[in-house]
Amino acid sequence: MDKLAEIMDWKRKEISTLIRPVNLNDLENIGNRMKTDLSFAEALAIDELSVIAEIKRKSPSAGDIAEGASAVEQARNYLNADADALSILTDKKYFGGQLKDLWEVNDFLGNHQRSIPTLRKDFMVHPVQVLEALEAGARAILLIVRALSDDELKSLREAADASGLDCLYEIHELEELEKALNHDPKIIGVNNRDLTRFVTNLEISEELIPQIPNHIIKVSESGIFSPEDAWQVRAVGADAVLCGEALMKAEDVDSFIHEMKGRE
């Protein structure tokens, strides 16, 4: 079994006791109460390269990255460094996150003069996870195209739309891009890491990003370890980068983010 299949198998078992019918009207009512001024997609639709800064304590490929790191303190660092959005890993077994991180970060952002939208980064398989993301204050969810059937993508998208959440459709191959385009995405993320083997190559973004239609926001994910990496994917059309491990380890988060954006 490849690594992604292993993770998805675990995730389906993990949430099995939570599964229940989720009413779209209920999601819409909650979403209307939770709505903020800036959507996730709007935060990325700016002239310069946008930075989605990720809160990530560990991963199957890197092992421990920042064990015990405070999600709120990391969010504070990213906010002060002018990140445009946050990605918060809520998977515990493989990435050391928890849903509580999403709640606490959004509570912190809600009390701050400047707020930015958050993405729930997890292995989504059922609308009940969309409800959890909505209640915790997220403005977007991740959909891994390779891991989901068309019916699952449709169900999760309908739940997100009712909630007022954006979907980041994650792809790694041309076939997955074609599958994602059938669902009229606003945002597509090209994962430079092959989740079956956890091998990373920026050439994946160089190959796929130019093939994504211009009206779609294009994000390059994984393998962004330096400002030069960010510039490399920007040169082929990336509107944003999602960066986790390098930012979690960076001694000067402010300089790192500003350099990725191309600022002095």
Report the sign of the C-alpha dihedral through residues 90, 34, 243, 122, in that order. positive
pLDDT of residue 67: 87
| Residue 41 binned pLDDT confidence (cut-offs 50, 70, 90) | very high
Judge whether residue 48 has pLDDT over 90: no
Q: What is the pTM of this model?
A: 0.95
Residues 65 and 32: their CA atoms lie apart, in Å, by 37
Of all residues in the chain, what percent carry a pLDDT higher than 70? Answer: 99
**Mean pLDDT, range 236-261, rounded to an integer:** 95
**Mean pLDDT, range 214-224, rounded to an integer:** 96
Of all residues in the chain, what percent carry a pLDDT higher than 90? Answer: 85
**In this structure, which amino acid lies at residue 137?**
G
Judge whether residue 46 has pLDDT over 90: no
Average of per-residue pLDDT values in the chain: 94
User: Cβ of 149: how many Cβ atoms within 10 Å?
Assistant: 10
Q: Express each pLDDT in 198-215 by its tens digit.
A: 788 999 999 999 999 999
pLDDT of residue 263: 61
Query: Which stretch, 113-127, 189-203, 250-264, has highest mean pLDDT?
Result: 113-127
pLDDT of residue 1: 55
**Buried b / exposed e across 7-40, counting CB within 10 Å, b at 16+?**
bbeebeeebeeeeeebeeeebeebbeebeeeebb
User: Tokens 């390059």 appear where?
Assistant: 220
Domains defined along the chain, listed by start = 3-15+25-260 (3.20.20.70)
Judge whether residue 136 has pLDDT over 80: yes
